[in-house]
Structures are given as structure tokens and as C-alpha cells.
Amino acid sequence: MSNQPYRTALVTGASSGIGAAIVGRLREAGIEVHAVARDKDRLARLADETGCIPHALSVSDRDGMADLIRTLDVDILVNNAGQSRTGNITNTTPDDIDALVDVNLRAVLQLTHLVVPGMIRRDRGHIINISSIAGHYAFAGGNTIYHATKAGVHSLSQQLRCDLYGSHVRVTEISPARVETEVFGRLIGDMEEAKRRFFDEYESLLPVDIANSVAFAVLAPQRMNVSFMEVLPTMQVVGGLNFAKKSTDPA
């Protein structure tokens, strides 16, 4: 710890899953962590467990997030908050599109815009963007809007490295595959069914695996920028080729 300059982190989507694990891991590293999420009760429990500082806020609340950030010198921003939906572009709704764009992409852009000037002024900082393999690969059954927003986070991460050229502000994108979190249960509305369908017969990643990936990037020597990390379960691959048969001509 003594050789790294970071003192304060802000983690979004912090009340459960990957976000909560990241909060705990950064606290273990001796970093003051401001944990942001909407669930006040879960945040309170996380604060009791880890010593983080809870903030019951939605990342979509631009004014609220701006007021918070004005009170902090954020050394590490972890853009982790995210949402998903079932379905694709043919059966989504305008509200679903707005919700996914607001949380998964617009909030990431707004928060990054809020913290980067201070990082540049202090000449230290680290932006950690938690994206998804859905931002890099197309696969049947994925939500089209989710894929598009995560692709936007990937592009942002790459462009930020150019924007921050010449400074000691680092940018890391961590792109997980399947992680055992509540998100699958929320998608289908049944936590037990999600566990049976997605996890019981698979050796998925755990939130702590992503938290350790974040810590690896954050605690690396300042001369080293881990710019991109794709993290998959050992037994999961992203390759595959499907080919639909010719349909019978109804004419």
C-alpha cells in the first residue's frame, strides 16, 4: 500500500454482488471507499462489515452524484452499476431502452466527466469500468440494448486512454463473462430458478474474482496500466458458429 498513491475510491452498484465484493477488497487494501447504490439497508450492512462510507443514491441522479463528488478527491472511480433486461430489439420497450442507456452508459459518461478533471489536476487517478463480454461478442439470447451499452463502455475506455495521454491517470476495463450474482434472478424474476438454470451445473466466476481483478489493476506499479482484462470461467468459451437451414419457400 505504501507505494501506491490512491487514498479514496468511489464504487457504484455497491450494495451487492460484484460491487460489494470490490468495496470489501479495496477496504482490505486500506483505501477509503465511498459506496453508492439505491438500497439503503444493504449499504448500511456493507458499511458495518467493511467500514465503507455509504451513499444511498441512484447513478442516474446527476445532480446528486455531482454534489457528492464535489466533496471528494476521488482517486479511483469504479463504474460498476448496471442493469439488464430479457428480450431483444424486436420485443423491447422504450422504457427498457431508456433505463439501460441511462444506467449502463449515460451514468458512466457523466460520472467519468465529473471526476476526471480533478484526477488530471492532481495527476493521479484510476478509472475502472466494469463492462461485459456482451460488449465484444454477439450471441443469441443476449439483450440487444445491453450489448450496445456495454460496447459503448468499451469504446469509452479505449478513448479515455487517448484523452488522458501524458497524465498519470490510468484506465482499466474489466470484462467479465458469467458471474454468480443476483442479476440473473432479477431477469427472470425467480432467484431459485436462476440458480438452478445458470449456476448449479456450472463453475461460474464469483464476485470476489472480479474484485481481485480490480485490485490487481489498482495496486499495480504506477508505471503499469492494465488497460483491458477479459475474465471468463475456465469452462466457458465465447466462440461458436451457428448456421440456420434454408427455409421452405411458402410460394
What is the layout of strands, in order, in the sheet containing 32-37?
53-56, 32-37, 8-12, 76-79, 125-130, 169-176, 228-231
Spans of all domains in the chain: 8-229
Look at residue 243 in the predicted model and tell me its pLDDT: 72
Residues of the chain short of pLDDT 70, as ranges, are 1-2, 184-188, 249-251
Instruction: Quote the crossing angle between the two packed helices 40-50 and 17-28, to the nearest 10°.
Output: 30
Look at residue 40 in the predicted model and tell me its pLDDT: 96
Q: What is the pLDDT of residues 196-244, one digit of tens each?
A: 777 788 788 899 999 999 999 999 999 999 999 999 998 888 887 777 7
Look at residue 58 in the predicted model and tell me its pLDDT: 96
β-strands 8-12, 32-37: how paired? parallel
Q: Which CATH architecture has domain 8-229?
A: 3-Layer(aba) Sandwich (3.40)
Look at residue 2 in the predicted model and tell me its pLDDT: 46
146 given a catalytic annotation: yes
- Catalytic residue chosen out of the listed positions 6, 146, 165, 202: 146
Contact 52, 101 (CB under 8 A): no
* Cα–Cα distance, 118 to 102 (Å, whole number): 24
- Phi, psi (deg, nearest 5) at residue 167: -110, 170
The whole model's pTM is what? Answer: 0.91
143: CB partners within 8 A, 6+ apart? 84, 85, 86, 87, 88, 92, 100, 134
Contact 27, 50 (CB under 8 A): yes
Helix (H) or strand (E) holding 245: none
128: CB partners within 8 A, 6+ apart? 76, 77, 78, 79, 80, 172, 174, 214, 217, 218
Contact 38, 58 (CB under 8 A): yes
Contact 34, 58 (CB under 8 A): no
